[in-house]
Amino acid sequence: MDLPFNEDNEGMIYLVLSEPRNLRKKNIEVIKEITDKGFTAIVISTNDPYSVLRKDYLKGGINLENVHFIDAITKYAIGKESEGAVNCTFVNNPSNLTDMGIAVTELLKHIEGDNVWVILDSVNSMLIYISSVNLTKFIHFITSKLKILDISGVLLAVENGIDPSTLAQLEGFVDGIIKSEE
């Protein structure tokens, strides 16, 4: 996948739309391309737990040294954090937008350098836990913060999995839309 993840697009936000069966593959491709180009990735996961993403990323040949996780699934699913987690902040549940926002802010303060991409996986899974109104408010908050800080981002979503009015709002928050060719 040839994505526009480079220094020329610093501060750009993209909506990456994928077929449902390819969402995990698209996540791995995005993270691999970002980290292979020397960027640090902050993955906000409301779709898969840290332990699953870590295994998938290792299988995908991703150097995890420059990947930080904000996991909103593990504590919700099993009631505790994964033991031995590296570069991971756990949030109580996917509907706790305040803690997710704080986790992003804190990580951005502690990561050195400008070469950071924030990836939200996935817009659709967040809709299971919160209303589309609250989701668009949160995504507007995150995308505004990233643009102010000149930090790039990716919103991963299932194509045709979001109601048209919510999708239209999301499209208004991003600088580009990348549709899956698969």
pLDDT exceeds cutoff 80 at 113: no
The reply to whether 37 falls in a domain is: yes
Which candidate, 125, 139, 146, places its Cα nearest to that of 171? 139
CB proximity list for 58: less than 8 A, separation 6 or greater: 64
Tell me the C-alpha distance between 64 and 101, whole Å: 22
CATH code where residue 87 lies: 3.40.50.300
Tell me the C-alpha distance between 42 and 29, whole Å: 15
The reply to whether 166 falls in a domain is: yes
The reply to whether 3 falls in a domain is: no
Strands 176-179 and 152-158: unpaired
Q: How many domains does the chain have?
A: 1
- The distance from CA 150 to its chain's CA centroid, rounded to whole angstroms, is 16
pTM: 0.93
pLDDT reported for residue 93: 93
pLDDT exceeds cutoff 90 at 8: no
Tell me the C-alpha distance between 165 and 144, whole Å: 20
Helix, strand, or coil here: 6?
Answer: coil
Tell me the C-alpha distance between 93 and 142, whole Å: 18
Tell me the C-alpha distance between 106 and 70, whole Å: 11
Tell me the C-alpha distance between 106 and 52, whole Å: 24
Amino acid at 25: K
The reply to whether 149 falls in a domain is: yes
The reply to whether 1 falls in a domain is: no
Which candidate, 135, 131, 132, 177, places its Cα nearest to that of 156? 177
Tell me the C-alpha distance between 61 and 17, whole Å: 23
Amino acid at 17: L
pLDDT reported for residue 49: 95
Where residue 79 falls among pLDDT bands split at 50, 70, 90?
confident
pLDDT digits (tens, 9 = 90+) for 128-182: 999 999 999 999 999 999 999 999 999 999 988 899 999 999 999 999 999 876 5
Where residue 2 falls among pLDDT bands split at 50, 70, 90?
low
pLDDT reported for residue 107: 93
Q: Could you tell me the residue range of the domain that residue 36 belongs to?
A: 8-179
